[in-house]
Structure 1
């Protein structure tokens, strides 16, 4: 009975994940566009503006707050990625005749999924720069530093090593750090599976939380400048966001595999707690509490004396937010169809949105004077063009390379 129930829960999460990713990419696009168009850098600035200039500013502040929450959209992708890879590994080793995990083959498949479309997005960004330098929102100052510097920046971007080189971190597109983070997580995935096979799911989940918290605590404690601290905590290196990825991975496997929570495992209650947070509606209040607590920690940590609160903020937000949105989308089913459409092509939108909305915003300023109407149109068109890029890429791959990749 419990096994059938868990499989139903797994199917529910799998069916809702495209909508979760669709909401996540919509949130991210709106957040980045808000940062660009209003030059808002913190939630405190939104509060200050909305509380001093009357009712209209209060309404603007509420909408801006909603858009600002897109800052935390990456949490969804980290958990969804772990969930998808965990389920894929389990099916490969339990439902097929192939009972072992081939590391090199796994890496090849994941890199072929990520890198070609990423390289295409880099090419498009370079073309936009040649058309008009102002179409690149961040990192274009590199082009004033000579050919060698530009070549090095492009090479670091193509290889994702820009995550480790601060001066190239924002080159052409400030959102591409996530590609480097995803590749790091894919490279350590076989080692995470090894930890599961040697110990248990519970120990891996608890261990990943400890690693993430210790790493983030070390970053906060080191005498680094504000930029380095922020980038390291955001996820330029995988330990900072390891727990969210493992959370999704373990959740998928414990729902698919019978008797994963052995009585001999002293930490199995930690996994049960994680399952309850996502799957049981009665835990919705606790999800909201975790999310609000994480949000407050992130907000307050902007003050240097409270920087230590940044250490647990992402773990709290990630788990609480994922459980909250999962239950919300299970209830608001009419939105799932449209959000799933965005989610199925979220990678193309993610890769291109920062390079698309700059030109759109500039063009629409001349004939759409309402800020929020312009904001909505730019968001929708940006998402549509990102979807078109990925659709076109998938069509070319299917037509020209399907036999070679078979």
Structure 2
């Protein structure tokens, strides 16, 4: 069965690219995991298994970090440790987000034609308008917020500020500047920059060789960074250079290519007991490998395959039965880029600032939840406002709409492919 499956016939964009109802909630679930991770680490610290580090203790100490923390009551014991463990695995949302990004860009092309070419000028202008305006607004916001709140104040004359504005956050001194979470945005910028080359490689070599090549490049890059180069291993692991995360992005690209040929079969892969068991084994293997430097070469790819598969199943089959939760995650998915830009410094300043207060664990968690909700709503408003301004004078004259970027040879003409302006990481 190809793209014209029964459950998709009434679910097409105006340009003919099928909408996948589970994709936006899945993006929302991924950003929720990332936010949750950033809630937990200022409270319980960074888990050793998340990324290899130059200051890693011995293996026994890394494993010992997983011991449950004692609490004053059984209820608090369960709440605190469940909160800690679930938050700690939230970093895996970044790998899934990379796969979703690769999938979204490729799906928009391949669902029209596997032979589609890309108008480079239009493509890069679209990527620029998706990412940089809101990113610059984030810089202005935190220039004011940090200096007024006293949370890691900085000067606009700091050279790192200018470098960050230009997107040069892969430089070691800029990597964690203002908002440590922004390393992910600049990683996405790098992957967008090479996407036309990756698309050409996928078309030329086919799915299997493309997947193998992307994985080998990522594994080789991670091994070189972890064992040969004098670099910060944690930065390298996260994505200081895009090659270290190419496997996850390429995974999403390849999945879109495959799904364009038989969407029902691809979705069906994540519905059987056998596939669930296989994903669980992959997840366990990936998590175990994360505790060693050599294992960390391969762990992110295994974890992304497993977590991504589970999340497709959740968003495709479970969430439709829980409409309020589905709508919430879909909203977070639509404004995931704004949440990524704004959430971390605000969250950390609140958590650190209120930590000395004598609050019970349930009250503290409730307060954090209210702040997270406020950040999500505020991010949605700002992102919508920036997109609205870009579509109207004078900004629309400075940054005119770039026009169509996809050329479908089968149709003999360039056609505009629908990508929502509210989903810049799509």
State the shift of 1:382 in Å: 2.1
Matched, 1:86 2:103: no
Helix, strand or coil at the partner of 2:32? helix
- Alpha carbons of 1:217 and 1:54: their partners in 2 closer, same or farther (altered >3 Å)? farther
Q: TM-score, normalised by structure 1?
A: 0.81
State the shift of 1:217 in Å: 1.4
Which residue, out of 253, 258, 267, partners 2:257?
253
Matched, 1:346 2:336: yes
**8 Å Cα contact 2:37-2:87 kept in structure 1:** yes
Matches of 2:347 and 2:71, distance apart in 1: 29
Matches of 1:327 and 1:361, distance apart in 2: 33
Matched residue, 2:390: 397
Higher relative contact order, structure no. (Cα contacts within 8 Å, ≥ 6 residues apart): 2
Matched residue, 1:287: 279
State the shift of 1:213 in Å: 1.0
Structure 1, unpaired ranges of 5+: 261-271, 302-306
Matched residue, 2:371: 378
Which residue, out of 48, 53, 72, partners 2:67?
48
Q: How far does the alpha carbon of each residue in 1:347-379 deviate from its partner, in whole angstroms, 9 at most, with x for none?
A: 000100012224444676669653222222222
Matched, 1:328 2:314: yes
Helix, strand or coil at the partner of 2:21? helix
Matches of 2:267 and 2:327, distance apart in 1: 25
Instruction: Quote the RMSD (CA, aligned, Å).
Output: 3.1
Which residue, out of 216, 222, 235, partners 1:216?
222
Q: How far does the alpha carbon of each residue in 1:32-73 deviate from its partner, in whole angstroms, 9 at most, with x for none?
A: 121124445447576335258763334311121111121111
Q: How far does the alpha carbon of each residue in 1:167-205 deviate from its partner, in whole angstroms, 9 at most, with x for none?
A: 221110001111111111111111112212322122111
Matched, 1:23 2:16: no
**8 Å Cα contact 1:217-1:308 kept in structure 2:** yes
**8 Å Cα contact 1:46-1:65 kept in structure 2:** no
Comparing 287-296 with 348-357, greater Cα deviation is found at 287-296
Structure 2, unpaired ranges of 5+: 13-17, 50-62, 404-426
Matched residue, 2:303: 317
Q: How far does the alpha carbon of each residue in 1:6-46 deviate from its partner, in whole angstroms, 9 at most, with x for none?
A: 99599898211111111111111121121124445447576
State the shift of 1:93 in Å: 4.8
Matched, 1:237 2:241: yes
Equivalent residue runs for 1:5-404 within 5 Å: 14-42=20-48, 47-50=66-69, 55=74, 56-91=76-111, 93=113, 100-134=117-151, 136=152, 147=157, 150=158, 152-163=159-170, 165-222=171-228, 224=230, 228-257=232-261, 277-278=269-270, 282-298=274-290, 300-301=291-292, 307-329=293-315, 330-333=317-320, 334=322, 335-361=325-351, 369=360, 370-400=363-393, 401=395, 404=400
Matches of 1:101 and 1:279, distance apart in 2: 34
| Number of equivalent positions | 371
Matched residue, 2:418: none
- Alpha carbons of 1:173 and 1:68: their partners in 2 closer, same or farther (altered >3 Å)? same
**8 Å Cα contact 2:2-2:260 kept in structure 1:** no
- Alpha carbons of 1:367 and 1:340: their partners in 2 closer, same or farther (altered >3 Å)? farther
Matched residue, 2:412: none
**8 Å Cα contact 1:219-1:232 kept in structure 2:** yes
Helix, strand or coil at the partner of 2:135? helix
State the shift of 1:77 in Å: 1.2
